[in-house]
Amino acid sequence: MKNNKNQNNRRIVSVGQIVGWIAVFVIAVLIFNKPGAKQAELDYSEFKNKVSAAEVSDLTVAPGIISGMYKNEKGEFAPFKTVRMEDPELVGQLSAAGIKYKAELDNSWVSNILFNVLWIFLLIGLWWFIFLRPQRNDGRSAMNFARSKAKMQDPSQQTVTFKDVAGCEEAKEELEDVIKFLKNPKKFQKLGGKLPKGVLLYGAPGTGKTLLAKAVAGEAGVAFFSASASEFVEMFVGVGAARVRDLFDQAKKNSPAIIFIDELDAVGRRRFAGIGGGHDEREQTLNQLLIELDGFESKQGIILMASTNRPDVLDPALIRPGRFDRHISVPAPDLKGREEILKVHAKKVKLGPDVDLKTVAKGTPGFVGADLANVVNEAAILAARADKEAVSKSDMDEAVERVIAGPQKKSRIISKKEQRIIAAHEVGHTVVARLTNHSDPVHKVTIIPRGQALGYTLQLPLEDKFLTSKSELLDKLCILLAGRAAEEIVFGEITSGASDDLNKTMAYARKMVVELGMSEKLGPIALPNGEEGEVFLGRDLSRHTIYSQELVRTIDEEIMDLIKSSYARAKDIINKNRAAFDKLVERLLEKEVVDAAEIDEILGLKPAANEDALPQPAAQEPEKEEPKAPKADKPEAQQAELF
């Protein structure tokens, strides 16, 4: 921090000096080019006539010019000037006419220097301050486009270690090899082993990939160069490749070191994906990066790390063995990981005795590290806004809902008629969700507007899930369509409030039929989806449709059958429980928020099973590489968006 402060001070001083020199230059120009009153130019003979008639005054006789005041045609005195001639009688005539005058020495050479030389020196000074002086101080200048913009951190400045990273223990274990190599490279070299040149961290946004890279540098105690991949590509051809070369040169001079490139897909996308044979600056930058990866050996003490959210779009030559040959997944944390992350972020926050971070972790499935950090921060802000001494459980619960659905909008004025429609819509979601066998338990239902939603039903799973059964997806479709079904049953009319539900329903139904093999007619097959995969223009144009018209028709029929049957099932559940449905609608209109216990009481059900009562499978040793599982989603808030 001290070095950064000194660097900022140097920049401020340099800017101040530049401004000072510019001000001097402008003042000099204004002084030497000071506009005066417009002077009439008289012939020397006319000037002599004016002298004879005593119609001139306040003369200044210089070696090359005579100036002063003369009487013009209007009888008014005005400034004039005339060229001085060799006239020995002039002084006598001026004395005889009683005209006052003064003489000036010949200083034209001084004026010429000021006008013709001084401004040149001023421009040279400005050029030196802008271009040369910064280059002497820290190696950067305005014309130095080819220098890397990577920020270097000395080992003494690095404060992030593995203690500050939680929720990704497997990734930390994989990175331990990198730390041990940087600390003791001879241990690996004596056995003939080589550490991977490149380590690729991939995962969803907010899972802590950048934080992991900083922690590796902090644990190893080596120089850390961090740069964004977008910084390499500029409008000038060849700048990106030059910056890549400069970055590796700096790292070699400060080895052992770690080079970290964030968002690698900005320059590492698959090559030759466009149309035409034009030169691509991004591809040249990628080619230089590949060359640099081949050019250094692990014994030089340089480790290249990078992060990306899209490993599927990276060029195969970049991620092959010998370059980025170690790929480390940084997934969304599980229950234990979320609890550890909350503990890390809650160190600087004063928590009340009623706050249980394990309970908060249970209520935030699918949250990544950035989401959990936001939850803790929002809770602290809410507590401070209420002038509390510590963060309470209510603050934490409200913070979780803020992250899921947005802040409350109690000031939004909604008519009684629309409130009843919203209540019926949300109770439809609630009743069907509570009465289906494979759905997540309902945590609460509310008609208080929050974010873009006019109301929502919050479901929280009892445990983290990595597999989803067909029965669960069918229940999901039924729950999504229950809001629209409730509107039709109660009011005999449908509204636009189910627009978001319908979009999600279509997406789930299509995924079941096309990708997951959950169609009775099509059987266990997965069909390529044109909406996913590579999104390159050239590759898209070369892709051919492999579906027959008959297959497309069958897919559409299966999707419609799923949606229609789920909609009919939702209506049937609501009709069979109409009395409890109407009672819950009235209770929701009265209280605006109804929790799980009250919902179960009205529906005549037992409370949802606790997680501890669920059968737990025997613990097994985790494998090094597990098959990819569907990403855990955040708890869904069924929304009535627009009415």
Q: Which residues are catalytic?
A: 426
- Asked if 416 contacts 438 with a C-beta cutoff of 8 angstroms, the reply is no
For residue 344, the one-letter residue type is: V
Q: What share of the chain is helix, strand, coil (3-state, %, to 5)?
A: 50, 10, 35
Residue 376 DSSP symbol: H
Burial 520-550 (b: 16+ CB within 10 A, else e): eebeeeeeeeeeeeeebeeeeeeeeeeeeee
C-alpha span between 458 and 442 (Å, rounded): 6
Q: Compute CA 539 distance to the chain's CA centroid, rounded to the nearest angstrom.
A: 28
C-alpha span between 623 and 626 (Å, rounded): 6
Which stretches of 8-165 are assigned E, i.e. beta strand?
A: 40-41, 56-61, 65-71, 77-83, 101-103, 151-153
C-alpha span between 598 and 181 (Å, rounded): 58
Longest Cα pair distance anywhere in the chain, in angstroms? 129
| 523 strand-pairing partners | 519
Secondary structure, 3-state, 398-450 = HHHHHHHHCCECCCCCCCHHHHHHHHHHHHHHHHHHHHCCCCCCEEEEECCCE
User: How many C-beta atoms lie closer than 10 Å to residue 309's C-beta?
Assistant: 16
- Asked if 65 contacts 84 with a C-beta cutoff of 8 angstroms, the reply is yes
For residue 508, the one-letter residue type is: Y
Residues with Cβ within 8 Å of 416's Cβ and at least 6 positions away in sequence, in order, are none
Q: For the residues of 460-522, what is the DSSP string, one character each? A: --SS--S---HHHHHHHHHHHHHHHHHHHHHHS---GGGHHHHHHHHHHHHHHHHTS--BTTT
User: How many C-beta atoms lie closer than 10 Å to residue 179's C-beta?
Assistant: 21
Which stretches of 265-384 are assigned E, i.e. beta strand?
A: 302-308, 326-329
Which stretches of 99-228 are assigned E, i.e. beta strand?
A: 101-103, 151-153, 198-202, 223-228
Structure tokens that stand for 265 in this block: 């897909």
- Asked if 541 contacts 275 with a C-beta cutoff of 8 angstroms, the reply is yes
Structure tokens that stand for 496 in this block: 């636009």
- Asked if 405 contacts 456 with a C-beta cutoff of 8 angstroms, the reply is yes
Exposure of 397 in the CB half-sphere (CA atoms within 13 A): 12
